A and B are shown apart, each in its own frame.
Chain A
Amino acid sequence: MKIAVLLKIVPDTETRFQLNPEETDVITDRTTEWILGPYDEYAVEEAIRIKEKVGGQVITVTIGSGNEEKSIRKAMAMGVDEAILVESEGLAGSDPLTIAKVLAEQVKTLDADIILAGKMATDTSDSFVGPAVAQLLGIPVITEISSLEVREDGVTATRTASGRSEKFESKLPVVLTADKSLNDPRYPKLPDIMKAKKKPLHKKESAISPRGAITQIKAAFPPQKAGGTKIEGTTEEVVSVLMDGLTTKEKIF
Chain B
Amino acid sequence: MSIAVFLESYQGKMAKASLETLKAATVMAEKLGISVFGIIIDDTVDTLVQEAGKFGVATVKSSAGVTIYHPTMYARIITNATKDASAVFLPATVWGNEIAPMVAVKLDATPVSDIIGIEDVGTFKRSIHGNKIHTTVKAEGNLVVTVRSGVFDLPGEVGGSASNEPISTETVDSDNFIKLAEVLVAQGDRPELTEADIVVSGGRGTGGPENFAQHIEPLADAMGAAVGASRAVVDAGWRPHGEQVGQTGKFVSPKVYVAVGISGAIQHLAGMSTADVIVAINTDSEAPIFKVADYGVVGDLNDVVPKLVEAIKQVKAA
**Residues of A participating in the B interface, judged by any CB pair closer than 8 Å:** 11, 13-17, 19, 25-26, 38-39, 95-97, 100, 122-132, 134-136, 138-144, 146, 154, 156, 159-171, 174, 179-181, 211, 213-222, 224-225, 227-232, 235-236, 238-243, 245-247, 250, 252-253
Contacts and interface: CB of A to CB of B under 8 A. Distances in A.
24 contacts: A39-B248, A95-B111, A97-B109, A100-B105, A138-B176, A160-B94, A164-B185, A167-B180, A167-B184, A211-B110, A213-B139, A214-B139, A217-B123, A218-B135, A220-B133, A221-B132, A222-B134, A227-B291, A228-B296, A231-B297, A232-B299, A245-B295, A246-B295, A252-B256
Residues of B contacting A: mostly: mixed
Interface residues of B, number: 97
Contact of B129 (A122, A171, A231): A122
A219 B131 CA distance: 12
A164 B183 contact: yes
Interface stretch (B27-35, B39-47, B58-66, B302-310): B302-310
B210 interface: no
Interface stretch (B163-171, B201-209, B239-247): B239-247
A217 B136 contact: yes
Nearest to A126: B113
Contacts of A138: 175-176
Residues of A contacting B: mostly: mixed
A221 B135 CA distance: 9
Contacts of A156: 181
B101 A128 contact: yes
Contact of B140 (A124, A143, A213): A213
Contacts of A214: 110, 112, 137-140
Interface in B117-165: 123, 126-141
Contacts of A14: 266-267
Contacts of A242: 279, 295, 297, 308
A85 B28 CA distance: 39
A9 to B, nearest CB: 14
Contact of B293 (A26, A135, A228, A240): A228
Contact of A222 (B98, B131, B195, B285): B131
Interface stretch (B49-57, B69-77, B80-88): B69-77
Given A162-B192, A180-B249, A97 B130 contact: no
A220 B137 CA distance: 12
Contacts of B130: 13, 122, 125
B146 to A, nearest CB: 8
A230 B307 contact: no
Contact of B177 (A16, A95, A140, A160): A140
A230 B97 contact: no
Nearest to A154: B177
B113 A128 contact: yes
Nearest to B198: A252
Contacts of B131: 222
Contact of A142 (B93, B178, B277): B178
A122 B248 contact: yes
Given A161-B95, A166-B69, A239-B304, A227 B290 contact: yes
Contacts of A180: 234, 241, 244, 248-249
Interface string B200-237: 00000000000000000000000100000000001000
A231 B110 contact: no
A239 B101 contact: no
A236 B134 contact: no
Contacts of B101: 96, 100, 127-132, 135
